[in-house]
């Protein structure tokens, strides 16, 4: 191996710390797991390690590592700091990558920096020179805007998109070689995103956060190499995945219209779908059978996050849903509101004969929820309500479900009946893991006026054994040992 050979190229030192005494191939393996700027800080402390940065095959040039080492609370965060960070990234890119051992291929090149005109041009050109002279397997860009999404108005979104387009046009070599791109806080013109996809021919992962082509715009995606697409809080009226033959994962968060107008054309490899939304009265209930009607029955991993608010998915008849969930193996139902019956989630078990693992998280995440009652009423937030559902077959049995995990378990009637119901139908169940509410440090600093009911999760071994016996007492074929509580 070339890295192993590097251990003979770097002369050792008799003194120093334990890290610098390690063989160079092991050191390189360690250093490639952290930010490149941190690597440089480490290597300048030892003569023996000075040459190691030129032997790296993975580079992570991340402004976050600079910010971590800068006391922003004391010095403030301003334009001068941003320019300085970008210039450091540009300088390191130029010096380290141009001086590296050309016999060692670059497996991954990652850049995270602020979107600013002058510095972005210098960074882009530094990356372009490297990509023109050296083989790079993977190249990733994450662009950070000076204003956060909460502070960006329409003019800011247009300005950031214009900056990106200018830089995009200046560095075609870089974008032609990109494999991963994360854009945030940008409002493009109608055809900008399509043009970008046409240029980024190697792109495998695209993430659009608070970025779109205008309110009510339609995003049409056609790309030969794209594997993962994430859309977060864009103002698209519709997202049409027309022809994306290698697409495997779609993540859609916070759509702005009543329905997640997501349509699937040629997506023969799509296997994972994640839908995340804080639903209000405006949100229409979603029929999975309709949404996935054109997907060729390959979904194996389904993730639905309700953000502790309205349940916006409709429990459907297995005959309608089974054709699109027949290969589903893993399902995560996240942030279901506390105090409501979770029996409705059984509709997925009934419709997914290949399902092996089901995870449910019940959580009123108070530090992220809207708690002001007047505001909730004015803006269409819903009151808690049970979702109506009735089993479609009284003699139904599931042969493949082997694990059920519930976070936020409480020893009340809803949970106990639900666990018992699952155990009745899942004849080969191996483990039911019942966990307490997830901890959140910020929730510990809530306003005292927000009434959060204390957890009643069983604490002692005796309490846990009593619950095991209560759940399984009428289930002759189920051992109490299947039910596990956290230590």
Written in H, E and C, the secondary structure of the chain is CHHHHHCCCCCCCCCCCCCCCCCHHHHHHHHCCCCHHHHHHHHCCCHHHCCHHHHCCEEEEEHHHHHHCCCHHHHCCCHHHHHHHHHHHHHHHHHHHHCCCCCCCEEEEEEEEECCHHHHHHHHHHHHHHHHHCCEEEEEEEEECCCCHHHCCHHHHHHHHHHHHHHHHHCHHHHHHCCEEEEEEEECCCCHHHHHHHHCCCCCEEEEEEEECCCCCEEEEECCCCCEEEEECCCCCEEEEEECCCCCEEEEECCCCCCCCEEEEECCCCCEEEEECCECCCCCCECHHHHCCCCCCCCCEEEEECCCCECCECCCCHHHHHHHHCCCCEEEEEEECCCCCCHHHHHHHHHCCCCCEEEEEECCCCCCCCCCHHHHHHCCCCCCCCCCCCCCCCCCCECCCCEEEEECCCCCHHHHHHHHHHHHHECCCCEEEEECCCCCCHHHHCCCCCCCCCCCCCCCHHHHHHHHHHHHCCCCCCCHHHEEECC
Boundaries of domain holding 478: 336-487
Inform me whether the pLDDT recorded for 7 exceeds 90: no
Spell out the residues 6+ positions from residue 408 whose beta carbon is closer than 8 angstroms to its own.
Answer: 336, 338, 361, 362, 363, 435, 436, 437, 438
Question: What does the pLDDT average to over 181-191?
Answer: 95
Least confident of 117-131, 342-356, 367-381: 117-131
Question: What does the pLDDT average to over 271-284?
Answer: 95
Inform me whether the pLDDT recorded for 75 exceeds 80: no
For residue 71, the model assigns a pLDDT of 44
Inform me whether the pLDDT recorded for 42 exceeds 90: no
For residue 5, the model assigns a pLDDT of 46
Tally Cβ neighbours within 10 Å of residue 374.
Answer: 7
407 within some domain: yes
Inform me whether the pLDDT recorded for 89 exceeds 90: no
Inform me whether the pLDDT recorded for 220 exceeds 60: yes
For residue 462, the model assigns a pLDDT of 95
Mean per-residue pLDDT over the chain, rounded? 86
For residue 99, the model assigns a pLDDT of 73
Question: What does the pLDDT average to over 79-95?
Answer: 67
How many independent structural domains does the chain possess?
Answer: 1
Give the C-alpha separation, 281 to 300, whole Å.
Answer: 30
The more confidently predicted of residues 53 and 162 is 162
For residue 114, the model assigns a pLDDT of 81
172 within some domain: no
The more confidently predicted of residues 78 and 351 is 351
372 within some domain: yes
439 within some domain: yes
Question: What does the pLDDT average to over 195-214?
Answer: 96
Inform me whether the pLDDT recorded for 402 exceeds 50: yes
For residue 101, the model assigns a pLDDT of 75
Inform me whether the pLDDT recorded for 340 exceeds 70: yes
457 within some domain: yes
For residue 14, the model assigns a pLDDT of 42
Inform me whether the pLDDT recorded for 231 exceeds 50: yes
Inform me whether the pLDDT recorded for 76 exceeds 60: no
How large a percentage of the chain has pLDDT more than 70? Answer: 89
Is the distance from CB of 236 to CB of 214 less than 8 angstroms?
no
Could you tell me the two tokens for 172?
């075609």
- 9 pLDDT band, cuts 50/70/90, is very low
For residue 430, the model assigns a pLDDT of 96
74 within some domain: no
Could you tell me the two tokens for 483?
């039910």
**Per residue in 290-335, pLDDT tens?**
999 999 778 999 999 999 999 999 999 999 999 999 999 999 999 9
Least confident of 117-121, 131-135, 320-324, 382-386: 117-121
**Per residue in 152-181, pLDDT tens?**
999 999 999 999 999 898 888 889 999 999
Spell out the residues 6+ positions from residue 462 whose beta carbon is closer than 8 angstroms to its own.
Answer: none
Tell me which residue of 80, 83, 212 sits closest to 149, measured CA to CA. Answer: 212
**Per residue in 406-445, pLDDT tens?**
999 999 999 999 999 999 999 999 999 999 988 787 877 7
For residue 13, the model assigns a pLDDT of 46
For residue 59, the model assigns a pLDDT of 81
Inform me whether the pLDDT recorded for 4 exceeds 50: no
**Per residue in 12-27, pLDDT tens?**
444 445 666 778 788 8
Question: What does the pLDDT average to over 372-397?
Answer: 89
191 within some domain: no
423 within some domain: yes
């Amino acid at each position: 191996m070339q890295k192993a050979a590097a251990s003979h190229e770097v002369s050792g030192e008799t003194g120093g710390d334990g890290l610098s005494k390690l063989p160079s191939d092991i050191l390189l393996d360690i250093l490639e797991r952290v930010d490149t700027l941190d690597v440089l800080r480490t290597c300048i402390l030892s003569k023996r390690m000075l040459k190691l940065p030129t032997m790296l095959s993975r580079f992570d040039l991340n402004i976050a590592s600079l910010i971590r080492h800068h006391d922003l609370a004391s010095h403030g965060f301003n334009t001068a700091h941003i320019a300085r960070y970008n210039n450091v990234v540009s300088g390191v890119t130029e010096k380290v990558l141009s001086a590296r051992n050309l016999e060692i291929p670059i497996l991954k090149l990652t850049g995270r920096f602020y979107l600013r005109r002058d510095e972005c041009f210098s960074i882009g050109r530094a990356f372009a020179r490297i990509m023109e002279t050296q083989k790079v397997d993977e190249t990733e860009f994450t662009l950070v805007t000076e204003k956060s999404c909460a502070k960006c108005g329409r003019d800011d979104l247009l300005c950031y998109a214009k900056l990106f387009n200018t830089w995009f046009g200046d560095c075609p070599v870089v974008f032609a070689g990109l494999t991963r791109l994360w854009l945030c806080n940008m409002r493009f013109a109608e055809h900008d995103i399509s043009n970008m996809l046409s240029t980024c021919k190697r792109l495998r992962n695209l993430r659009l956060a608070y970025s779109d082509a205008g309110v009510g715009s339609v995003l049409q995606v056609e790309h030969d190499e794209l594997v993962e697409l994430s859309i977060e809080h864009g103002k698209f009226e519709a997202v049409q995945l027309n022809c994306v033959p290698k697409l495997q994962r779609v993540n859609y968060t916070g759509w702005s219209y009543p329905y997640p107008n997501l349509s699937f054309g040629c997506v023969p490899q799509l296997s994972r779908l994640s839908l995340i939304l804080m639903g209000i009265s405006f949100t229409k209930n979603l029929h999975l059978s309709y949404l996935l009607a054109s997907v060729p029955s390959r979904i194996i991993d389904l993730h639905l996050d309700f953000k502790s608010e309205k349940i916006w998915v409709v429990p459907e008849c297995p005959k309608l849903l089974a054709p699109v969930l027949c290969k589903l193996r893993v399902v995560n139902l996240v942030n279901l509101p506390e105090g409501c019956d979770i029996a409705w989630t059984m509709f997925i078990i009934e419709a997914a004969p290949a399902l092996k693992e089901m995870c449910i998280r019940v959580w009123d995440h108070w530090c992220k929820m809207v708690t002001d009652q007047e505001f909730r009423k004015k803006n269409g937030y819903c009151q808690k309500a049970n979702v109506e559902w009735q089993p479609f077959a009284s003699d139904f049995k599931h042969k493949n479900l082997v694990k059920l995990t519930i976070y936020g378990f409480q020893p009340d009637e809803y949970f106990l009946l639900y666990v018992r119901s699952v155990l009745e139908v899942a004849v080969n169940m191996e483990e039911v893991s019942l966990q307490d509410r997830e901890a959140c440090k910020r929730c510990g600093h809530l306003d005292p006026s927000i009434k959060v009911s204390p957890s009643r999760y069983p604490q002692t071994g005796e309490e846990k054994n009593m619950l095991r016996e209560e759940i399984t007492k009428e289930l002759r074929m189920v051992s109490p040992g299947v039910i596990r509580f956290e230590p």
